[in-house]
Amino acid sequence: MLLGARFLFDTLIALLAMALLPGLFDRLFSPAARNLGTTRGLLLALYLVLAGGAALALRLGVLGPSHEPLTGWRAMGLGLSFTVLGCSLLSNFIPPERPIATGRRDFLRSAARLLAVSPAAVAGYGTFIGRHDFRLTEIDLPVTGLSRDLEGLRIVQLSDIHLGPFMSARELVRLVDMANGTRPHLAVVTGDLISDLGDPLDDALAALKNLKADAGILGCHGNHEIHARAEDYATREGARLGLRFLRHQSQLLQFGQAWLNVAGVDHQSERTGYLRGAEKLVKPGAINLLLSHNPDVFPIAAQKGFAVTLAGHTHGGQVNLEILRANLNIATLYTPYTLGLYREGSASIYVTSGIGTIGVPVRFGAPPEVALLRLRAT
């Protein structure tokens, strides 16, 4: 079902590309077309370069926020589909020398114009409204065999802050206040405090140290701390300020007579293998909870004995369409766990949409959130 959602995304993009392909070919090659010579040649060359480039970038993991490589066939298929979409839109802006007025062509042109305008409308909403539409999301997180002392335990999760040009320290202070308003037993931060080297990491840590939770603040590092080579600094400074980043480490917390074992790992890459040796972090007799920036580790975490995984990384795709309870967004390209609560056997994962943005400063259908998770016995 979850994998189905991933391939549903591929299929929808491919179908859209196929629907637009006749119009594109018409414009390039039909005898009636007047965009001959240089224009046609340039468009064809552009198409081929873009198709090859997009497929290669997807294959190598250069394109897309996850930087995870896709398999060859999938990268090629998606690269071609996206390129047809792009070229269809581009070709629509090149006027024919002699207007060809047929009903079908008018329809295709209107459809293409609508397609050209729609992203701008979505981007406008997402940039100016959706990106700042901060929410408190409350989730009951099912845990098998939860003891009475852990029932209703409140964990507040902040993730993917990406403090920088599009997320201010003032906004983060407001979100920390929102998190404190939930009176959490535990606060967790699941990575990507910043986006790049030179971003205000100290400001992020200074705001996060004000999180107030009975059992303290624990965290793990995201791919952007690692990309910025800031993981060691963040760990040191965090420890000084009272925010402990768990780096292949765990911390046992006692609530009444019950134990919660919180483990954390740095961002996990598929290239190096997920959660190697993490089984040593699992404590028998405790509820084991894993902080992992990357949600893809979930099936392996479940196998290794983690009852709960808390993750971020996907941003809910930033632009998300929910169809028949399946989330369709760019993150479905690289993980089936894009947004919200998932279960596998007796294990659960919550994937937060996080707070900030990456790539384009837009959110639509995946509002930024502070997540409040309540453990519930099943």
Structure token digits, residue 275: 């959660």
- Paired with 140 in beta bridges are 374
Q: How far is the CB of 315 from Fe ion (least distance, A)?
A: 6
The piece of 97-105, 117-125, 153-161, 343-351 that touches Fe ion (CB under 5 A) is 153-161
Q: Determine the Cα–Cα distance for residues 320 and 316; give it in Å rounded to an integer.
A: 7
The piece of 44-52, 109-117, 184-192, 209-217 that touches Fe ion (CB under 5 A) is 184-192
Span 67-106, contacts to Fe ion by CB under 5 A: none
Q: Determine the size of the site formed for Fe ion (CB under 5 A).
A: 2
Q: For residues 69 and 295, which CB has a smaller minimum distance to Fe ion in the complex? A: 295
Secondary element (H or E) of residue 125: helix 103-128
What phi-psi label fits residue 282: left (phi over 0), alpha (psi between -120 and 50 degrees) or beta? Answer: beta
Extended strands (E) in the chain:
135-143, 154-158, 186-189, 217-219, 243-245, 249-255, 258-265, 287-292, 308-311, 320-323, 326-329, 340-344, 347-351, 369-377
Contact 61, 269 (CB under 8 A): no
The piece of 7-15, 154-162, 200-208, 361-369 that touches Fe ion (CB under 5 A) is 154-162
Contact 61, 67 (CB under 8 A): yes
Contact 213, 285 (CB under 8 A): no
Q: For residues 192 and 203, which CB has a smaller minimum distance to Fe ion in the complex? A: 192
Q: For residues 192 and 199, which CB has a smaller minimum distance to Fe ion in the complex? A: 192
Give the CA radius of gyration of the chain: 23
Contact 339, 317 (CB under 8 A): yes
Confirm or reject binding of residue 296 to Fe ion (CB under 5 A).
no
Q: How far is the CB of 191 from Fe ion (least distance, A)?
A: 7
DSSP string over 178-210: HHHTT--SEEEE-S-SBSSTTS-HHHHHHHHTT
The piece of 109-117, 158-166, 266-274, 361-369 that touches Fe ion (CB under 5 A) is 158-166
Q: Determine the Cα–Cα distance for residues 33 and 26; give it in Å rounded to an integer.
A: 7
Q: How far is the CB of 192 from Fe ion (least distance, A)?
A: 3
Secondary structure (3-state) at 258: strand
Q: For residues 192 and 237, which CB has a smaller minimum distance to Fe ion in the complex? A: 192
Q: For residues 50 and 160, which CB has a smaller minimum distance to Fe ion in the complex? A: 160
Q: How far is the CB of 201 from Fe ion (least distance, A)?
A: 14
Q: For residues 160 and 266, which CB has a smaller minimum distance to Fe ion in the complex? A: 160
Span 237-256, contacts to Fe ion by CB under 5 A: none
Q: How far is the CB of 133 from Fe ion (least distance, A)?
A: 18
Q: For residues 23 and 316, which CB has a smaller minimum distance to Fe ion in the complex? A: 316
The piece of 28-36, 187-195, 235-243, 325-333 that touches Fe ion (CB under 5 A) is 187-195
Residue the block writes with tokens 């107030």: 212
What torsion, rounded to 10 degrees, do the Cα atoms 112, 117, 118, 121 define? Answer: 180
Using CB under 5 A, pick the residue from 92, 153, 155, 160 that binds Fe ion.
160
Q: For residues 192 and 231, which CB has a smaller minimum distance to Fe ion in the complex? A: 192
Q: How far is the CB of 310 from Fe ion (least distance, A)?
A: 14
Q: x/- site string to Fe ion, residues 16 to 55, per CB under 5 A?
A: ----------------------------------------
Number of residues in the chain: 378
Q: For residues 171 and 192, which CB has a smaller minimum distance to Fe ion in the complex? A: 192
Q: How far is the CB of 159 from Fe ion (least distance, A)?
A: 7
Using CB under 5 A, pick the residue from 192, 225, 231, 369 that binds Fe ion.
192
Q: List contacts with Fe ion (CB under 5 A).
A: 160, 192
